[in-house]
Amino acid sequence: MLTFGPRRLRSKVNQVNINPLRKHIIIALLIAACALVSISCNLASGNEEFFGKTTPPEGNILRYVNGPEPESFDPAISSGQAEARIYMALFEGLVEYDPKSLDAIPAIAERWDTNNDSSEFVFHLRHNARWSNGDPINAHDFIYSLRRALSPEVQSRTANLAYYIKNAQAFNSKSVFVRDPQSGKFLLEQDLAEEPPTTPVSLSQKVLGANESEYTLAEGNSVTPDTPFHQYMHSPARLVLPGSEKARQKMLDANPKLKAAVAGNELVKVTGEDVGIEAVDDYTVRISLAQPAPYFTGLAAYQLFRLVPRKVIEQYGDKWTDPANIVTCGPFKMKSWKPYSEVVVERDPMYWDAANVKLDEIRFYVSTDHPTTMNLYKVGAADAVVNHSVPHAWVDVIRPKKDFMDAAEAAITYLLINVTLPPMNDLRVRRAFNMAIDKETYSRSKRTTKPLSAFTPTGIFVGYPQPQGDRFNPAEARRLLGEAGYPVTQKPDGTYICEKFPADEVKLMFATHSSNKALCEFMQAQWKQNLGITVMLNNLEAKTYMASRGKLEYKGFALGIWGADYMDPATFLNLFLTPSGDNGSGWWDKKYADLLEEANHTADKQNRYELLAKAEKYMLDAQPVIPLETPSVNWVKKPYVKGLYPNPSSLFAWKFVYIERDPSKWDYRTPSLAE
């Protein structure tokens, strides 16, 4: 009885036949439809200066297509760029991203001091910062926010970006210290170290000496007072063991010396109070890192470090981000939220710099479909759109327009190589595959991207002596393959063939996306043309792809894309600092890791850059990756939207954005990031 309906339906449908005359009508109609489409395409492209309407919105508002639906309004939780942009409107940290360079600019902190090896920072907070409910903001709000963000219960996805801070990782991963119950002393890392450390101890970890000056302060600034907590931070690192019984037992069983040392001692949980952040007074925050990190102030603008309201969180728990409950500290506050449609924020009169916030309202629209996004923009229903919105096939039409944002992105596209499996475990084979790709031609055909032969994006880090890997050289590539035992021979028709190469053992895996597919097909064609090797493509759904790559379950190549977490070459180079995590290639070399460590202990910026470049060159020579391109930000904004710059991470300090109604002051080209 359940299937009664469908069965009846099927029998009826089968009775309908198409006769020849009807076929003609259908064909005629299809032709008519095609004609209609082509006419409207012509109308749509036109020869206008800008893409679509350029009538500014009636109110003093910005309508920004922001990409996917935000996962959460809690800045400690999400890692996404779309969320980050909303957090930048609603919440402020000690510092904010500069709208052009993304360097740290004052926010809740009005100035800061850095010690001589960038391992300790003192932030001086402004006295007039307030929450959107009028409550004042002080140093304790920051301490609460970061301890909360790091606490395991909040399960932040980005907590690892604060691991530079002393004991932060131990606290976030529920680790324990070991204490002698009699003396009350903690076991130290140095007591049990197998060998003396290769890198010098950072200033923040050294015992405070009377004569050693840590800070080179600007004139008029006074030294921040010493405190017992400061002394604790400056004492040698305590031994940290895993919090879970099982993991700890495993570690101790593997190391008898450690087991003997730990036996009979009590385990003490690492708490938020152990994390290297301290409110020296109500308006001074001191942050002690476990290692030098010259880029830390830039990182401090990251969403994880933004301030959240303690009272509201303690009152409402998980529900604190409901628009009815939420209290914020940024230039804008929540006005309304329509799930999967829009987030509307309005100017917050309580904000310390409210007089300089120019927009009354920002509407963040949800849209994940690129053509849909561009349609909204064209009809004038959106004023600016998220990066990468211009579809590949539209670039030709959009690129000549004056509202196209043509600028490099702090990201790289590259192929990972699984170096643990033959034949790719042979360096000569890896180099050959790299040299057989004509990246210049690829970037020219794609028009917006730049060819890349290094592992850091081109044209992003000013003054960085970016090294270069092997260039396109098909002849040398064939020679190297021959040397590795896979001779490439030329057939009479001029094409190449490499019969001995085990092509079944190599695939190119990528996550489903139309632009990824085009890219991988190009690589496939290049290898076929220049080496005579056909590499099969393996197209996987995004999460399946990530799972497979993480476990090194692929053969040959995997397409990787990496975006900067902070504006420093280290955010790319650190991928290969450990064998796990986002490494994804199976390549790891202690010398490389040591070079990075050394660079991070170097205070002088240029010297540090040179050491980083040396490390990068070392990695490129080992070729665990094939760099392909530096992507472009690839978005559009109306000429009347000012103060919005195509910066390399597409993160915008919204308070500087405004609507210009005088066409003579509009942007008639991509705004420069340099001026």
Partner 1 sequence: MLRFIIKRLLITIPTILVVITITWGLIRLAPGNFYTGNKKLPPAIEQNIREKYGLDKPWYEQYRRTMWGILRHFDFGTSLSYPGQSVNAIIARSIPISATVGLLAYLLALIVGIAIGASAAMKPNSRWDYAAMGFAMLGISIPNFVLGPILVLVFSLTLYWLPPSRWEGFPSRNIILPVITLAAIYTAYIARLTRAGLLEVLRSDYIRTARAKGLSERQVLFRHALRGGLMPVVSYTGPALAFLLTGTVVVERIFILPGLGNYFLQASLNRDEPLIIGIVAFIAIVLLLMNLLVDIAYGYLDPRIRY
Residues 537-556 that bind partner 1 (CB under 8 A): 541-544, 546-548, 550
Q: Which of residues 285-344 bind partner 1 (CB under 8 A)?
A: 318-319, 321-322, 338-342
When binding is defined by CB under 8 A, the residue of 225, 371, 465, 502 that contacts partner 1 is 371
SS3 62: strand
The token pair at 329 is: 């500290």
Q: Which is nearer to partner 1, 335 or 479 (CB)?
A: 335
Q: Which of residues 47-76 bind partner 1 (CB under 8 A)?
A: 52-53, 68-69, 71-72, 74
When binding is defined by CB under 8 A, the residue of 375, 425, 538, 670 that contacts partner 1 is 375
Q: Give the closest residue to 441 by CA, choosing from 512, 519, 498, 387.
A: 519
Shortest reach from residue 301's CB to partner 1, in Å: 18
Annotate 442-461 with DSSP letters as a single string. HHHHHSS-EE--SSS-TTSS
The number of angstroms, rounded, from the C-alpha of 283 to the middle of its chain's C-alpha atoms is 31
Per the document, the length of the chain is: 675
Q: Which of residues 376-405 bind partner 1 (CB under 8 A)?
A: 376, 378-379, 381
When binding is defined by CB under 8 A, the residue of 31, 35, 44, 267 that contacts partner 1 is 44
By CB under 8 A, tell whether 246 contacts partner 1.
Answer: no
When binding is defined by CB under 8 A, the residue of 31, 37, 268, 536 that contacts partner 1 is 37
**What is the C-alpha to C-alpha distance for residues 490 and 496, in angstroms, rounded to an integer?**
4
- Which residue intervals of 512-626 are DSSP H helices? 514-531, 542-550, 570-573, 590-600, 605-622
Shortest reach from residue 5's CB to partner 1, in Å: 4
When binding is defined by CB under 8 A, the residue of 100, 126, 174, 517 that contacts partner 1 is 174
**What is the C-alpha to C-alpha distance for residues 52 and 45, in angstroms, rounded to an integer?**
9
Q: Which of residues 76-95 bind partner 1 (CB under 8 A)?
A: 77, 79
The binding track of 195-234 with respect to partner 1, each residue x by CB under 8 A or -, is ----------------------------------------
Q: Do β-strands 61-65 and 361-365 pair in parallel, antiparallel, or remain unpaired? A: parallel
By CB under 8 A, tell whether 462 contacts partner 1.
Answer: no
Shortest reach from residue 541's CB to partner 1, in Å: 8
When binding is defined by CB under 8 A, the residue of 153, 194, 493, 675 that contacts partner 1 is 153
Shortest reach from residue 146's CB to partner 1, in Å: 16
Q: Which is nearer to partner 1, 22 or 447 (CB)?
A: 22
- The answer to whether the beta carbons of residues 116 and 216 sit under 8 Å apart is yes
Q: Which is nearer to partner 1, 260 or 547 (CB)?
A: 547
Stretch that binds partner 1, among 232-240, 289-297, 516-524, 574-582 (CB under 8 A): 574-582
Q: Which is nearer to partner 1, 175 or 284 (CB)?
A: 175
By CB under 8 A, tell whether 465 contacts partner 1.
Answer: no
Shortest reach from residue 674's CB to partner 1, in Å: 30
CA distances from 64 to 29, 323, 492, 636, 644 (A): 39, 19, 58, 11, 11
By CB under 8 A, tell whether 268 contacts partner 1.
Answer: no
Question: How many of the chain's residues bind partner 1 (CB under 8 A)?
Answer: 83
> Which is it for the CA torsion 418, 423, 428, 431, positive or negative?
negative
Q: Give the closest residue to 102 by CA, choosing from 675, 568, 567.
A: 567
**What is the C-alpha to C-alpha distance for residues 460 and 220, in angstroms, rounded to an integer?**
35
By CB under 8 A, tell whether 577 contacts partner 1.
Answer: no
Q: Is 434 exposed, middle or buried (0-12, 13-18, 19+ CB in 10 A)?
A: buried
When binding is defined by CB under 8 A, the residue of 172, 449, 466, 526 that contacts partner 1 is 172
- The answer to whether the beta carbons of residues 667 and 639 sit under 8 Å apart is yes
State the Cα angle at 183 between 179 and 189, rounded to 5°.
Answer: 40
Shortest reach from residue 170's CB to partner 1, in Å: 9
Q: How many CB atoms lie within 10 A of CB 44?
A: 12
When binding is defined by CB under 8 A, the residue of 115, 132, 156, 205 that contacts partner 1 is 156
Annotate 631-665 with DSSP letters as a single string. -B--EEB-TTEES----TT----GGG-EE---GGG
The binding track of 584-623 with respect to partner 1, each residue x by CB under 8 A or -, is x---------------------------------------
By CB under 8 A, tell whether 4 contacts partner 1.
Answer: yes
